[in-house]
């Protein structure tokens, strides 16, 4: 899917030390990823669409309000 993104569609949502949230536009929708590799929890940023995956939390990723240390959140919004 990332290979299908036209150039220049990536957008930085938020960054900080050990933290990154980005999104990409695709023909079928928008993908968002937030990554926290720090030692402190971070509030979940405003992400496109619905949360579809979170690690280490695997159930109900849409209910996350913060990203714990060493975690990732993936969201997707259909076009």
Q: Above pLDDT 90, what percent of the chain?
A: 71
Give the 3-state secondary structure percentages of the chain, helix then strand then coil, rounded to 5: 10, 50, 40
More confident residue, 1 or 28: 28
CA distances from 34 to 19, 70, 74 (A): 8, 11, 7
Judging by DSSP bridges, how do beta strands 19-26 and 71-78 pair with one another? unpaired
pLDDT confidence tier of residue 16, bands split at 50, 70 and 90: very high
Round to whole Å and give the CA distance between 2 and 67: 23
Identify the pLDDT of residue 69: 96
Identify the pLDDT of residue 3: 65
pLDDT confidence tier of residue 2, bands split at 50, 70 and 90: low
pLDDT tens digit sequence for 50-76 = 999 999 977 888 889 999 999 999 999
């Amino acid at each position: 899917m990332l290979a299908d993104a036209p150039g220049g569609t990536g957008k930085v949502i938020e960054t900080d030390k050990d933290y990154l949230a980005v999104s990409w536009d695709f023909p079928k929708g928008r993908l968002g990823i937030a990554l926290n590799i720090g030692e402190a929890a971070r509030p979940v940023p405003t992400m496109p669409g619905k949360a579809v995956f979170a690690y280490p939390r695997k159930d109900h990723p849409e209910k996350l309000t913060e990203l714990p240390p060493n975690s990732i959140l993936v969201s997707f919004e259909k076009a």
